Amino acid sequence: MPNTSGPAEVRGLQPDGIDHSPRATAVLSYFVNRLTVAVLVAITVSIFAFSLLRLSGDLAAELAGDDATAAEIAEVAKSYGLDRPFHIQYLDWAGSALQGDLGVSIFSNEPVFDVITQALPVTLQLATYSLILSIVIAIPLGVLAAVKQNTWFDRGALVFAVSGQAIPNFWLGLMFILLFGVMLGWLPISGQDSWVHFILPTLTIGLSAMPVKMRLTRAGMIEVLQSDYIRTARAKGLNPNIVLFKHALRNAVLPVVSVTMVTFGRLLGGTVVVESIFALNGLGFEALQAITRQDFPVVQSVVAFVAFVYIGLTLLSDLINAQLDPRIRLS
Amino acid sequence: MATDQTSTAAAAATAASDTDPFHVEPPTPWQLMGRRAGAHMGFWIGGTFVLICALVAIFAPVIAPFDPLAQDLTRRLVPPVWDEKGTWTHPFGTDKFGRDYLSRLIHGGQISLGIGFLSALIAAVIGSILGMMGGYFGGRVDAVVMYLVNAKLSLPGLLVSLALVAVFGGSFIVLVLVLAFLFWDNYAVALRSVTMQIRAQDFVAAAEAIGASRRRIILSEILPNLMNQVIVILTLEIALAILIEATLSFLGLGIKPPTPSWGVLVAEGREQMFFNPYLITIPGVTIFLVAIAINMMGDGIRDITAPEGRN
């Protein structure tokens, strides 16, 4: 007898119960499942973010400085509430955070909420511009590379992509400053007053975010272009460009869309270097400064905030994908 | 009766291959890999460059012409040899303290490559174990592994590393561990799904049927089939780890100056970059070339060991 059932059944694994339930239940259980995991992960990550600067063992001693006496350390601990048990401190912070109160910066006495809301627009602009730039370059390049597979153009595009992944971000930024800011004098090299100030930072991040999307587009297009429906579309004499961009790209570009959403979440905490090079007061730069100053209320809230946005975006992207492609939620 | 038929058929087959003048033995998998390796330019170029860099880094004290920390204030900011005022004594010039830049670059390579390699290796061990456990045992174990991966993925990696280095100090060991923590998840995700596929194959079922222990199955049936994946991810992660180490050191939360690492060199050169651009171009181009060579090598290993995974 041919063994079509496969070794999974031989081992007596539980059959997947979802397969047999009605579609609606499957969708609902997938959503509930995904949501539960997201909430659990969010709680874990917030505990991690909270403990980050406390990992040295004694945050109060660090804050008080090297030559502080025990009494001074105790005073620092008391004034910041660091003398309470860890879980009380955490619950206190998390409880207030849920009501929108993230505490105050110990450096500037500014509410952490304000620090975040002031820095966020800068980083959001930077992330949005960079992603748009990376998509505008990556998709046409990926499509062309797939159409002209294994030609000099394809190889050139691959070299471009590999280079983009291998250039250190901070160094590329400095090179842009030297070239466009100092030697040519075309563009401002620091500040955030107008859109012109965002050109060089956008170029720096956009070029490093581009290669992954280009490779995904190329791989997706190569696969789609071999499929039957494309052959049919071509055979019935449709305009090749319509086949390429309307029929093929639409399917090939799905992974690029979800990667873009994930990259957006990544960039909120990942633009530190570029922000510090171009003197942009974004979220990353604020976090970097807070880290060097041991400003723990700012650090824990920014890290948790960025993580929460990421969790939300991936959840959203998963749910959208599951809605679009039934194979995902049933597997 | 049935045995008769099979043995006759087998005999006929042997006879056919003995007498058939056109019969060619199909190449073994190793021979196929050898052929693909021979034809893969990227693998050879990248691999050779990486090998040279690794040797230079390992033998840095022997190769470097000067002590990387020795200051000579009479020879400050000597330009590199391609500049009119450059000399062959200092091919890459000197920095603002008169330290020989080539020597700092070579010793910096020891630290940058060392951190990159060790952290990617530790990440590979942690991530592979988790991924294999999740993929092999499935169920709750898998749920825990995926939960850890999800938690790790949602943390802003660069900010967390910066904070960890700020707390524990910028020593070699701390950076290796922080970067290992940053990179283990890729192995876990990739190996989990491959382990699931392999686990469903007949040779694993056969091993289970003859009563092999789980340890034996994981170590000698599944692991060998994952090694090429691990090596491919490892090479690509080494390149990433080198870039992140340079980033951390550049931001001042990595290797502490005066100890050279490539990121430290760019960071130190930054204040002089408008007047002496070579101070940032030299370490920057070095990082770029090494990262590109490692990527070429990694892509090459993937094409050679698993050509179907190519994209």
Interface test with A, best of B159, B189, B292 (most A CBs within 10 A): B159
Q: Tell me: the pLDDT tens digits for A31-82?
A: 888 899 899 999 999 999 999 888 877 788 878 777 888 888 888 888 888 8
CB atoms within 10 A of CB B210: 6
Q: For B45-98, what is the HEC assignment?
A: HHHHHHHHHHHHHHCHHHHCCCCCCCCCHHHCCCCCCCCCCCCCCCCCCECCCC
Nearest beta carbon to residue A291 from set B163, B292, B299: B163
The sign of the CA dihedral A230, A232, A233, A239 is positive
Asked if residue B125 belongs to a domain, the reply is yes
Q: Which of A8, A171, A306 sits opposite B200 (nearest CB)?
A: A8
> pLDDT digits over B151-187, tens only?
999 999 999 999 999 999 889 999 999 999 999 998 9
The per-residue pLDDT for A229 is: 85
CA atoms within 13 Å, Cβ hemisphere of B140 = 0
CB-based contact A174 B154, cutoff 8 Å: no
pLDDT surpasses 90 at B122? yes
pLDDT at B18: 63
Cα separation, B198 vs B221, in Å, equals 9
**Positive or negative CA dihedral for A134, A135, A137, A139?**
positive
- Specify if B223 maps to a domain: yes
Does residue B76 register a pLDDT over 70?
Answer: yes
Structural domain total, chain B: 1
Find out whether B258 and B173 touch, Cβ atoms under 8 Å.
no
Residues in A closer than 8 angstroms to B160, CB to CB, are: 48, 52, 303
**Residue at B2 is within a domain:** no
Assign B128 a pLDDT band (cuts: 50, 70, 90).
very high
Q: Does B157 touch chain A (CB under 8 A)?
A: yes
Q: Which of A7, A45, A266 sits opposite B202 (nearest CB)?
A: A7
- Return the pLDDT at A12: 40
In a domain, B21, yes or no: no
| Residue B277 near chain A (CB below 8 Å) | yes
CA distance A142 to A136: 10
Per CB-CB distance under 8 Å, the chain B contacts of A273 are 158, 247, 250-251
Residues of chain B neighbouring A170 (CB-CB closer than 8 A): 246-247, 250-251, 266
User: From the list A8, A168, A311, which residue is nearest B284 (CB)?
Assistant: A168
Give B146's contacts in chain A (Cβ within 8 Å).
Answer: 37
Which pLDDT does position A24 carry in this prediction?
65
Give the E-state strand segments of B187-308 in sequence order: none
B155 and A48 within 8 Å at the Cβ level: the answer is yes
Give A-chain residues touching B277 at CB under 8 angstroms: 178
Residue B294: CATH number of its domain = 1.10.3720.10
Q: Is residue B5 part of a domain?
A: no
Which pLDDT value is given to residue A62?
A: 78
Tens digit of each residue's pLDDT (9 = 90 or more) over B217-234: 888 888 888 888 888 889
pLDDT at B308: 58
pTM exceeds 0.95: no
* B13 in any annotated domain: no
pLDDT bin (cut points 50, 70, 90) of residue B14 is low
Its domain, for residue B281, covers 31-309
Do the domain assignments include residue B100?
yes
State the complex-level ipTM.
Answer: 0.83
Single-letter code of the amino acid located at B90: H
CB distance from A270 to chain B under 8 Å? yes
The answer to whether A45 contacts chain B (CB < 8 Å) is: yes
**Is residue A269 a contact partner of residue A291, using CB atoms and an 8 Å limit?**
no
Chain B contact for A229, CB < 8 A? no
With b meaning 16 or more CB within 10 Å and e meaning fewer, what string describes B251-261? bbbbbeeebbb
- Using CA atoms of B118, A272, B188, A326 in order, give the dihedral in degrees to the nearest 10: -160
Q: CA A178 to CA B295: how far, in whole Å?
A: 27
pLDDT band, very low/low/confident/very high, at A331 (cuts 50, 70, 90) = low
DSSP A302-313: HHHHHHHHHHHH
| B23: pLDDT strictly greater than 60 | yes
- Dihedral of the alpha carbons of B115, B119, B120, B121, in degrees to the nearest 10: 110
> Tokens 């012109």 correspond to what residue?
A196
pLDDT for position A206: 92
- CA closest to B251 among chain A residues: A273
B12 falls within a domain = no
Whether B293 and B242 have beta carbons less than 8 Å apart is answered as no
Best mutation site among B155, B237, B281 for testing chain A: the one with the most A CBs within 10 Å?
B155
Q: Is the pLDDT of residue B11 over 70?
A: no
Q: Does residue B307 surpass a pLDDT of 80?
A: no
Minimal CA separation from A37 to chain B, in Å: 7
Rounded percentage of chain B residues whose pLDDT exceeds 90: 40
Question: Residue B133 — very low, low, confident or very high, per pLDDT cuts 50/70/90?
Answer: very high
Angle at the Cα of B274 (from B270 to B279), degrees rounded to 5?
Answer: 50
Q: How far apart are CA A248 and CA A227, in angstroms?
A: 9
The average confidence (pLDDT) of chain A is 83
